Amino acid sequence: MRRPQKLLFMVLLLLMVSASFGARGEMSEASPGNMTSADEANSPGAGLLPPLPAPAFEGTTHTFWTRRDGAPGSITSLAQTKDGYLWIGSSLGLYRFDGLRFATYPFGPADRQLPSLDIAALSADPSGGLWIALRNTAVVHLNANGTSTHYGRDSGLIPNTLDGIFVRPDGSVWVTGGSRLFRLEGERWIDLREKDGLFSGGIFSVLFDREGNIWVGRDKRLAILRKGANRFEDLPYAVHYVSSIVQSKTGEIWVADAWRSVRSLSDKSSKGAFHLEGKAELLVDREDTLWIAQDDEGLARIRNISDPGKKLSIETAGLADLSARETHALLEDREGNVWVGTDRGLDRFKKTPFIPFRATELRFFPSLIAADDGSVWINSHGSSLMRVLDGKTTPIGPHVNTGPLGKRRNGDICFADLTAYELQCYGSSATREKLPDAMQHVPPKSLIEDTDGSLILATQGKGIWRYADRQWAPFNQVGHSLGGPWSLYSDASGRLWLGYGENKVVVRDEGSYKELHVQDGLWSNTLAFAEGAATIWLGGSNGVCFVDGQSLHRMHTLDRDLLLGTSGIAFDRFGSMWLNSAAGVLRITPNEIIRLKKDPSYLVRAEVFDENDGLVGLPTQYKRTPSAITDSRGNLWFATSGNVVSLDPSRLGVRATLPSVLIENVLVDGRPVVQAPGLPGAVLHTSSARFHDLEINYIGINLSAPERVRYRYRLMGENMTWQDAGSRRQAFYTRLSPGTYQFQVSASNGGEWSDLAAPLRIEVEPAFYQTGWFRALCVLALGACAWLILSARTRFVTEQLHSRLSERLAERERVARELHDGLLQGFQGLMMRFHLATQAIPRSEPSRAEMEQALDRADELLIESRDQIKHLRYETLVPLSLYEAVSQLQEELGSHGSARFSVTAQGAARDLNPLSYPEIYAIAREGILNAYKHSRATKIEVTIAFNPRRLTVRVLDDGRGIPPDTRQFKGTSDHWGIAGMHERAENLRAEFRISSPAEGGTLILLVVPAVVAYTTSPKSFWQRLLHRN
């Protein structure tokens, strides 16, 4: 080639390259309507990072458990019993899985050991039991009541290796092994090989279809026992080794023909739907998807097997999509999860309603906004803005950093770029405006359109700015300095909401600004606003609240801490609220919202979606929000760190299956005491003398999300209120009192509560020391001890009183003797001398007559003194009873007044204690004497009441009474009589009162205990009983 031609060629090449780059540049600046080619939109030159790899099985999440989690290896079979447990058969034994923990059979000393650990197959029966086929020709039935039945060769099984076990809906049990098919009749296994037309040849698989037919895969043949028929018949299908047979929802039969293919029997081609390199197990799930466990070749599935209008969709798991490549067992549980048993562990594939965005890699925290045309715009660090519509992603504009997205009322989408520091708008016209110099190096945080059509941009550290008429101005130029909020929102009525940190929310309504605060606890910052259910909702680091008039009420959930870190709030077209929080994506139904608005203290139930549903990462807590939106077609979008997912709420339906609530075991002082406690009618019988601690272990089985299950329990008979247990699966009680109790437990996975089918009945028998007869015996013993103590005390007090009275009597006798032997004798001698001196005086002398009169008076005084000495010694009273002695006082005191005097005796008279008698008489005499001398009474009544327990003396007059201060006065020169009565009563340990009745007069009351008043105390019941005997 000559030189001019070479130059021309180079110029043309440069022009072509320039045109190519120009075209790409025009595509970057074009409006969204010009982006129609998905291939161009997703090319690296258009500003998108490479797309993310698709998962092996679209629409599912994958979780697996291996030896480090307690899962067995070499899994051969899976089954789920009626109670919800997942049972795992392996070459190393039987395991049970509740979603969190693996348990190895036998579970306790009451469980019977299996004859072998090498398990061939498992099958659950309708009554809740589990059938186990062991390779060493043995079958075990684990009954729902905890017992087990073992079948060996003596029950009809032919010595050989068992392969499979099947339980039909009618409860019949079938076993395959050693090229034979057995059915259990009574306690014997019946060989059907020749009886029902199954002649020699291997039997590799069995299917009981929904029509009642029995399909058998044999050596190079496929046979069927039709419903009502007596013998199997071979079918005209060319097969080699049918290792598995299944039925689709439409009734189509699919077979796995080993080393050939998976195909339906209606498929006449030799190729089939899926090529096999060995044996395979098949499973048709509730979505009519065919799962294929390919033995040593991994896992695959075929979708749309029953839809003739759609092409079969085949998906195959890679090495990284399974715990091991060797797959042998398949099971769909009652919640719709598909379980796969491998050589290294257990895998679960769970359907998820969330669709991950995989068109390109997303970095940092993506921003979201919904456009009016049904598209959603996404901002991700290091990529162009992305417009997503109908599954196609179109890059818009140049590479950008992160920033907020905003939408104008005319549908234009605007973006504030953190790197270029410019405002970009797309839609009716393309706009790219630089931000003011004051906003350089300042992160923009929120962007919205105000009611006047201007844009409002909130920044970090530089406050709020307004963009109007292609000019930027600080927002405070209108007279308000509001600082830089975290979030902005304009509601349907034109109010402007500004969310700040430090528990501050500002609302502009009709030009005036008002500050609102969340009163119920710490609020911190407001990250998102949303309008729905006829009010405004706020989300922030510390939860969610809603506006009620001029107040902000905090939302509380039944499960604590679910609302923390809420940076996105959205409503679907069915009225449900969706929250993007640190706990995951939450759905709150309209009924719950209504109850919350009526009662702000109501604990809201929320349905939780998290990693189990394919949601990874946390929502933003400080960058651009909101992290949850609803597009114009009603789909929901959620953004987390490096991820965006979408959801069509109309396809969600009713998700959660209520947990199956069971009691796993009951322990008394650490020892299991109840076998199969989860069954209805389980009763724990125990005695309070034999246990100290009661431990009840319960569970709510939910294989989809066991970590979300929350519990509550109560023990009827001990407390009536529910105890919130959170995720704890144990209840403890210490030293229950004798009685009958019922233990109730409920479980919830965010929705309704699921209760234990039948409460556990606990009967605690009393120990001997808690019985009625023992308590009665104790009461009698205590009564006897009290009686002995009281008797001893009474004797002691009586002896002390008698001692004191004896001392007083001895003292009185001493005084009487001294008066008699000293004073009276001397006085009598003096009188004799006076008498002699009087004799010497003549009778005619007047002085003699006076002396004789004086001597006569002296004789009277001497006689009176001797009488007083007798009274001092009580010699005159001893022969008389108290009644007689008191009655004689009328003669003695008759000269003191004219009052009517009466004495009445009540009860059987008893002999008084000679030591107490003088004191009692003295008190009665003093009371009567006072009534005669001072009361001016017209009537004086004395009552003496003899009671077995006491002696009562009552003196009542109708006089003028005694002043209150005098009644209790115990010692003045004017009232020695009252003081003496008090002293004598104290010496007797008696009750003594002086009162004035309402009708007037004075009442003197003396109550003396029987042990003091009488010569002998009254006999008790036991003394009288012993005396009779």
- Pick the last residue of a domain from 766, 792, 808: 766
Q: Are residues 342 and 397 in the same domain?
A: no
What the block records as the tokens of 858 is: 């002296």
> Final residue of a domain: which of 303, 329, 351?
351
- Give the residue from 381, 365, 834, 880 showing the smallest Cα distance to 644: 365
Smallest CA-to-CA distance from 555 within 532, 576, 535, 539 is with 539
Q: Is 830 domain-assigned?
A: no
Residue 242 pLDDT > 90: yes
pLDDT tens digit sequence for 246-272: 999 999 999 999 999 999 998 877 688
pLDDT higher than threshold 50 for residue 277: yes
CA distance 199 to 190: 15
Is residue 820 very low, low, confident or very high in pLDDT (cuts 50, 70, 90)?
Answer: low
In this prediction, residue 476 has a pLDDT band, given cuts at 50, 70 and 90, of: low
Q: 164-177: buried (b, 16+ CB within 10 Å) or exposed (e) per residue?
A: bbbbeeeeebbbbb
178 and 155 belong to one structural domain? yes
Confidence of residue 5 (pLDDT cuts 50, 70, 90): very low
Q: Which SS3 state, helix, strand or coil, does residue 153 take?
A: helix
Q: Does residue 627 share a domain with residue 675? A: no
- Give the CATH number for residue 709: 2.60.40.10
- Closest by alpha carbon to 872, among 922, 943, 800? 922
Share the mean pLDDT of the chain.
84
Q: Helix or strand or coil: residue 444?
A: strand
Sole residue written with tokens 């029953």: 306
| Region 490-509 average pLDDT | 89
Do residues 294 and 437 both lie within one domain? no
* For residues 208-217, average pLDDT: 92
Which 3 state secondary structure label does DSSP give 334? Answer: coil
- Give the residue carrying structure tokens 């019977």: 112
**What would the mean pLDDT of 395-412 be, rounded to a whole number?**
90
The closest alpha carbon to 265, from 234, 299, 227, 239, belongs to: 239
Per DSSP, the residues of 97-135 read E-SS-EEESP-STTSPPPS-S-EEEEEE-TTS-EEEEET
Question: What is the rounded distance in angstroms from the CA atom of residue 447 to the CA atom of residue 412?
Answer: 13
Q: What is the enclosing helix (H) or strand (E) of 797?
A: helix 772-818
User: Is residue 805 in some structural domain?
Assistant: no
Average pLDDT over residues 633-661: 88
Measure the CA–CA gap between 250 and 261, rounded to whole angstroms.
Answer: 21
Asked whether residue 628 carries a pLDDT value surpassing 60, the answer given is: yes
Q: pLDDT class for 200, splitting at 50, 70, 90?
A: low
- Domain contains 797: no
The residue among 922, 882, 879 whose CA lies nearest residue 905 is 882
Least confident range from 460-474, 540-554, 908-922, 1008-1022: namely 1008-1022
Residue 13 has pLDDT above 50, yes or no: no
Are 443 and 462 in contact, with CB atoms under 8 Å apart? no
Give the C-alpha separation, 553 to 555, whole Å: 7
**Cβ pair 88, 81 in contact under 8 A:** no
Q: Tell me, yes or no, whether 927 lies in a domain.
A: yes
The count of other CB atoms within 10 Å of the CB of residue 524 is 16
Which comes out higher in pLDDT, residue 868 or 916? 916
Per-position DSSP letters for 523-536, written without gaps between them: ---EEEEEEETTEE
Q: Are residues 313 and 376 in the same domain?
A: no
Query: Closest by alpha carbon to 538, among 558, 554, 560, 562?
Result: 554
Compute the distance between CA of residue 592 and CA of residue 898 in angstroms, rounded to an integer.
Answer: 95
Three-state DSSP class for residue 740: strand
The mean per-residue pLDDT over the stretch 896-916 comes to 83
Per-residue pLDDT reduced to its tens digit, 648-692: 998 886 666 789 999 988 988 888 888 777 677 788 888 877 778
Contact in structure between 932 and 893 (CB atoms under 8 Å): yes
Q: How far apart are CA 760 and CA 676, in angstroms?
A: 11
Number of residues written out for the chain: 1029
Could you check whether the bond before residue 55 is cis, i.e. omega within 30 degrees of 0?
no
Residue 116's pLDDT is what? Answer: 92
Residue where one domain finishes, among candidates 329, 351, 373: 351
Cβ neighbour number for residue 549 with a 10 Å cutoff: 7
The confidence band for 407, taking pLDDT boundaries of 50, 70 and 90, is: very high
| Residue 892 neighbours by CB under 8 Å, 6+ apart | none
| CA 832/CA 670 separation, integer angstroms | 107
- What is the mean predicted confidence (pLDDT) over 130-159? 91
Spatial separation of the C-alpha atoms in residues 265 and 636, rounded to whole Å: 42
What pLDDT digit, counting tens, does each position of 555-591 carry?
Answer: 999 888 899 999 999 999 999 999 999 999 999 999 9
pLDDT score of 882 more than 60: yes
Residues 433 and 378 in one domain: yes
Across 592-600, average pLDDT: 94
Whether the per-residue pLDDT at 643 is higher than 80: the answer is yes
Instruction: Tell me whether residue 732 is exposed, middle or buried, using C-beta atoms within 10 angstroms of its C-beta: 0 to 12, 13 to 18, 19 or more.
Output: exposed
| Tally of CB atoms within 10 A around 1028 | 6
Owning domain of residue 101: 60-351
The predicted model gives 302-327 an average pLDDT of 89
Using an 8 Å Cβ cutoff, are 34 and 50 in contact? no
Alpha-helical regions (H) of 505-603: 590-598
Total number of domains in the chain: 4
- Can you give the CATH number for the domain in which 959 is found? 3.30.565.10
Indicate whether 221 and 82 sit together in one domain.
Answer: yes
CA separation, residue 732 to residues 692, 695, 759 (Å)? 11, 5, 16
Q: Is residue 413 domain-resident?
A: yes
- Among candidate residues 494, 520, 524, the one with its CA nearest the CA of residue 507: 494
| Residues 937 and 1001 sit within 8 Å (Cβ to Cβ) | yes
Helix (H) / strand (E) element for 952: namely strand 950-957
CATH number (domain holding residue 490): 2.130.10.10
Residues 736 and 633 in one domain: no
- What is the pTM assigned to this prediction? 0.73
The pLDDT tens digits for 339-370 are 999 999 999 999 999 999 999 999 889 999 99
pLDDT the model gives residue 877: 47
Confidence of residue 1027 (pLDDT cuts 50, 70, 90): very low
Which runs of E-coded beta strand occur in 710-862?
710-716, 723-726, 730-734, 739-748, 754-755, 760-765
CB neighbourhood size of 113 (10 A): 11
- 493, part of any domain: yes
Got the DSSP string for 842-906? -TTSHHHHHHHHHHHHHHHHHHHHHHHHHHHHTTTTTTS-HHHHHHTHHHHHGGG---EEEEEEE
Residue 15: pLDDT over 60: no
Phi/psi-derived region of residue 950, left when phi > 0, alpha when psi is between -120 and 50, beta in every other case: beta
Q: Are residues 609 and 646 in the same domain?
A: yes
Cβ atoms within 10 Å of 393's Cβ, excluding its own: 22
Name which of 389-393, 457-461, 835-839 the model is least confident about. Answer: 835-839
State yes or no: pLDDT of 196 exceeds 90: no
Distance between CA atoms of residues 87 and 75, nearest Å: 11
Residues 666 and 578 in one domain: no
Q: What number is the average pLDDT over the span 909-915?
A: 84
Whether residue 799 lies inside any domain: the answer is no
The residue-averaged pLDDT of 796-818 equals 71
- What type of residue is 327? T
What average pLDDT does range 426-435 have in this prediction?
86
Domain assignment of residue 76, yes or no? yes
Angle at 684 (CA atoms; ends 679, 688), nearest 5 degrees: 165
Name, in order, each residue with C-beta under 8 angstroms of 246's C-beta and a sequence gap of 6 or more: 207, 253, 254, 282, 283, 284, 290
CA dihedral 810, 811, 817, 823 (to 10 degrees): -170
Does position 149 have pLDDT exceeding 80, yes or no? yes
State yes or no: pLDDT of 139 exceeds 90: yes
Q: Is the pLDDT of residue 956 over 70?
A: yes
> What percent of the chain stands above pLDDT 90?
43
Contacts of 736 (CB under 8 A, 6+ apart): 688, 694, 718, 762, 764
pLDDT of residue 286: 92
User: In sequence order, what are the residues at sequence separation of 6 or more whose Cβ sits closer than 8 angstroms to the Cβ of residue 450?
Assistant: 456, 466, 490, 496
Q: Is 16 helix (H, G, I), strand (E, B) or coil?
A: helix
Nearest to 693 by CA among 668, 671, 713: 668
pLDDT tier at 371, thresholds 50, 70, 90 = very high
Domain identity same for 185 and 252: yes
99 and 120 in a single domain? The answer is yes
Residue 18 has pLDDT above 90, yes or no: no
